Chain A
Amino acid sequence: MGLGNPLLADDGAGWYVCSRLKERLLQVPHGHVLAVHTSQGLFPEQIEAFSQADLAIFIDAGIKEGAKDGFHIEHLLMPSRADVLAIPTCTSTPIHGLSLQDFMRLSAQVYTQLPQNVLICTLAARLFTPMQGLSRAVQEACDQVVERFLMAFWAPTEAEVLKTLFVGPVTSAF
């Protein structure tokens, strides 16, 4: 799922990656099913598809002080369903979008399941001003991400997909 707003410059990075993937990934081998979505946020209507996935990947732009151009992919250490259900408070409203925490919690509560693996791919952004198009460095990073995913999706098993994609440490989901 590519997240962001393509009318806010680099915030459209996730949409850019997903649209390129849709163009180039005409078929997925080994009987895998790939669903590519774009959205400005996380909403309750998307949870059912998320809950049914083996591997969910969120692609988003972000600004982190001191971060270099490019991208990094985090592998979230998935909590058990019981741990997710034990999260004490709801931090978001369904109108303007859910936090990832609430998104996962609702997946566990309403659809009683969670993906086995969740990856967060963050593209280091430079601009979030109202304009269309990505800054050059971000677009280059997006193109690298697309190539990485295209390579990964040809891997025969989920473990090898993860191995091909995974470049960062495993971090806690919460």
Chain B
Amino acid sequence: MRLLATVAALGLALVLTLLVFGLPVADSLRLLGEGAFGDKFGISRTLAKATPLLLTGLGMVIAWRAGMYNIGGEGQLIVGAIGGAAVAAALMGKVVGPVLNPLILAAAMAAGAMWSGFAGWLQVARGVPAVISTILLNFVAIQLLAWTVQGPLRRSDGGLPQTVPLPADTMLLKFDRQLDLHFGLVIAVVAVLLVTAFLYGTRSGFRLRLVGASPTAARANRIPSERVAIGSMMLSGALCGLAGGVEYTGITGTLGTGFPQGWGFLAIPVALLGGLHPLGVLLSGLYFGALFAGSENLARFSTGGTTLIYVIQAAAVLAVVALAPRAKPAKIKEAAA
């Protein structure tokens, strides 16, 4: 029922947005569909765009489920990529690619976790709401990236202000040299399964959900909710950082100021439309991946492109919120379990 309502809301949001901006609905939908699923290039594009959305979306699920409003996925993704690039710069040529790649991803996760963990700590220890600090840290991260690629990590051959491109053997595996699709998709899907198992199959996952659903019940059960809060933020940031590392070693191979594409920002609608459930994120991440892939085709009608997708996403979130049942008795049930 809930799934059906969400799908209806998504469809409605898409069609309404097209109508409002005066685009021909049938033709636009056909172009979107062809761009996203028309041939193997389209499907590969869809999956490649969905990959970072899945990872960042999962990150949002973990934080929000613990009651932490992490709005800083974008900053965590950027800082993750910077961490990865720093490791790459230090070890490139000293370590073989297949070894270096996982090191880059691990550094990305660690850097992302630090960035978000700081925000979590600020809330717990200093009373600074994460919803504000994570947003402010996004802007700091953007400037940090600009400084890094123009300063310490800038390639020395005088080219564009960006980092030294990674050699091919350090990049994530590709299934087909013609396509963008890369091994990051497998990482993302495994992450979906792991997060599902963690949230619904482990004691820590249960505690995390309990802290978010009912802080009073958590306290009554002597769950250290402050540690859970910081831990959830760090996990969340690690996933967003991983998204940055995967994008870096899967698609771009280099960092420049144009690196962030808003994946961390758009993770929030992805997570919300996925019902803050990892399996829901799998569906909504794929849907928005398809929208992004298809939108390049829409350029024929509209210069909007990606900004139009923001509208569709916002409209979808609002539509889902509008259709959602009002009361939330689930909280009490879960606390009693």
Partners in one complex: no
Residues in chain A within 8 A of chain B (CB atoms): none
Residues of B whose CB lies within 8 Å of any CB of A are: none
